[in-house]
Amino acid sequence: MMLAIAFFKLSVKAQTDPIEGLWYNDIKSAKIQIYRESDGKFYGKVVWLKEPLKNGKPKVDEMNADEKLRSRPRLGLPVLEEFVKDGENKYTGGTIYDPNNGKTYSCTMTYKGKTLAIRGYVGIPLLGRTTTWERVE
């Protein structure tokens, strides 16, 4: 029985990808939970904000280009979508949403142990910007 439990724990552990979990954004103003959905792709949402309030009210997605989405709360906001693992430490084919300017960018992520290199770009990756996220301990 103990062997079965140990094996089960190992198999569950083996299915967890290294990028899954909590990450600080580059300026540590937010924590993003990265998780794998049933489609096998990786997604991320804001689960903590250093400053969750603006004028005494919870922050909302006020910069969104879609007026209907401007009232949605920043907490729980999806910011990473549809990443596919591409090799050992690279994740491609996804997008990143920047709630500070309301724009969505093509994005790649590179896992580097305790950090995650996030490269957002328009068109080709060469024309982009990389920020580094840190794993929340």
CA dihedral 44, 45, 47, 50 (to 10 degrees): 100
What is the value of pTM for the model shown? 0.87
**Residue 11 to residues 14, 15, 31, 125: CA-CA distances in angstroms?**
5, 6, 27, 35
Neighbouring residues of 26: CB distance < 8 A, sequence distance ≥ 6: 118, 131, 132, 133
Average confidence (pLDDT) over 64-76: 96
Of the given ranges (2-6, 35-39, 41-45, 132-136), which has the lowest mean pLDDT? 2-6
Task: Grade residue 137 by pLDDT with cuts at 50, 70 and 90.
Answer: confident
- Percent of the chain surpassing pLDDT 70: 89
Residue-level pLDDT at 1 = 52
Report the percentage of the chain scoring pLDDT > 90: 84
Q: Quick check: helix, strand or coil at residue 67?
A: helix
Other beta carbons within 10 angstroms of residue 78's beta carbon come to 13
- 8 has a pLDDT exceeding 50: no
What CA–CA distances, in Å, run from 129 to 28, 59, 82?
18, 25, 19
| Domains observed in the chain | 18-135 (2.40.128.520)
